[in-house]
Every structure is written in structure tokens, then in C-alpha cells.
Amino acid sequence: MTPSDAKLSLWRRLFPAQEPGPARFLRVRNCTRETEIGSAIEIADNAARRNKGLLGRTGLEPGEGLWIVPCEAVHTFAMKFPLDLIYLDHNRRVVKVRGHVRPGRISGALRAHSVIELPSGAIAASLTRRGDILELESQPV
């Protein structure tokens, strides 16, 4: 075994590859505006799901999205479509919204604990604004 093989072996023992497991989904409602943001928001709460994100997808249907937790910044490099972004604090209060973020951009909010990535136009349709409170409800598989 070469020294580089030994390092790789140690790395794999310390940081085993995470299998993402079955997808889990949420229904997200804006309690402040009494509107629905999405009914099929996938949860990305482990390294494997956060790293993949929406890469490889060609778009999102209305009601679909991705909740990345924990997360305070995202990029849209290699994306094929624009996104709406809702940044949330620990209490599910909206700390920032960004609509129609085109591919090849970076966006973040230092006070955020998580971010919801949505199809472009979802923020306007749900009337979501900074300060709103969101409700995240588990959806059966």
C-alpha cells in the first residue's frame, strides 16, 4: 500500500460516504400571508443531499422545491434554470428573499439557518416577504 493509498483509506474510514436514503418531502405554508409555497419540497439535511442539491435537474414544477438545512448560502453554477430563494432563521422566520436568481450566481444570508429553493415566480405567487413566518409540515412518502 502506497502512502497515498493509506491516506485515502484513512479518509474513507473517518468520513464514510453517506447514502442519501429515500427522499423526504414537506408542505410549506406562509402562515403570515395564509398562502401555500409548495406541497412537494424535498429535504436536503445531510451532506450527500446538500452537495447534490438541484444539480442535474432541468427545472422545477410549481409546488416543488428543495429545503437545504443547515445552509446560509447557495450557488447556481451549472444550473439550467433560475430559482427563487427563501432564507429562514431557526424559528422559520423569513430573513431574506431573492427572486429569479439566474444560473451562475451566488446568494447568501448570514443570519439564515436554512434556504428553500423554488421555481422562479413562487415568491411572488405566495406573496412571501421578509419577516413572514413559515410552517413546514412533513408529507407522507
Tens digit of each residue's pLDDT (9 = 90 or more) over 2-33: 655 555 555 556 655 555 678 899 999 999 99
Model confidence, pTM: 0.85
Q: How many domains does the structure of the chain reveal?
A: 1
Quick check: is 81 in a domain? Answer: yes
Range of the domain at 96: 25-139
Peptide bond into 70 cis (omega under 30): yes
Quick check: is 18 in a domain? Answer: no
Q: What CATH number corresponds to the domain at position 33?
A: 2.60.120.1140
Q: Which residues of the chain have pLDDT under 50?
A: none
pLDDT at 139: 79
Cα–Cα–Cα angle for 106, 40, 37, rounded to 5 degrees: 65
Quick check: is 53 in a domain? Answer: yes
pLDDT at 140: 72
In the chain, % helix, strand, coil (3-state, to 5) comes to 15, 40, 45
Evaluated on CA atoms 99, 104, 110, 112, the torsion sign reads positive
pLDDT at 109: 98
Quick check: is 10 in a domain? Answer: no
pLDDT at 40: 96
pLDDT at 90: 96
